[in-house]
Copies of this chain bind each other. A is one copy, B any other.
Amino acid sequence: MPSSRRPPSEARKAFGERVRARRRALNLTLEDLAERADLNWSYIAQVERGIRNVSIDNMAALADGLNVELRDLL
């Protein structure tokens, strides 16, 4: 594995958990957030579980959809 030297999922997990917590605090479904962030709901579900190596553009879209600054999701 080329990137075996660093833990790949720690930042993903933290980000995903914060996205989920913030989404639930706003009483949004995955579908609601998908519409607000202009992303697919199943993609967001995978981000929340730390499965996806999410890009900064999509991170910014999720932060926008959750009405927070990106740094507050990290």
Contacts and interface: CB of A to CB of B under 8 A. Distances in A.
A12 B54 contact: no
Nearest to A8: B57
Given A53-B56, A54-B56, A57-B3, A70 B11 contact: yes
Interface in A1-23: 3, 5-6, 8, 10-12, 15
A66 to B, nearest CB: 13
Interface string A30-74: 000000001000000000000001111101110010000111101
A38 B70 contact: no
Interface of A: 3, 5-6, 8, 10-12, 15, 38, 53-57, 59-61, 64, 69-72, 74
